[in-house]
Amino acid sequence: MPEENSYNVVFEYTQEVEHPNCRYWRSYKNEEEFNEQYTPQIQEIQIAIAKDVSDERAIEICDERRDLSLSAKMSDMPNIPRMSAILEEMFR
């Protein structure tokens, strides 16, 4: 039976990429595997903002950024129907 990945890390892209501040998470077998794969080249474009968190917490952390991002975008668009903005964000 394959070993389950249980070391979850949440990443946030830096300003060096097309979609800065976008968050995602992935699982590793353990901290050692994460450290081996989190190379200086990767660190230039994504920051590990949470390590060894549960699946639920990783999802919460990713959703926090999405909520902040959507709120900021909506506050800058007073004349555009808010529902359209929400739907557009959902399908990106």
Is pLDDT at 20 greater than 60 in this prediction? yes
Any residues with CB less than 8 A from the CB of 63 and at least 6 apart, and which?
none
Tokens for 59?
A: 């999802």
pTM of the complete model beyond 0.85: no
State the pLDDT confidence band at 73, using cuts at 50, 70 and 90.
Answer: very low
Strands 7-13 and 46-53 come out as antiparallel
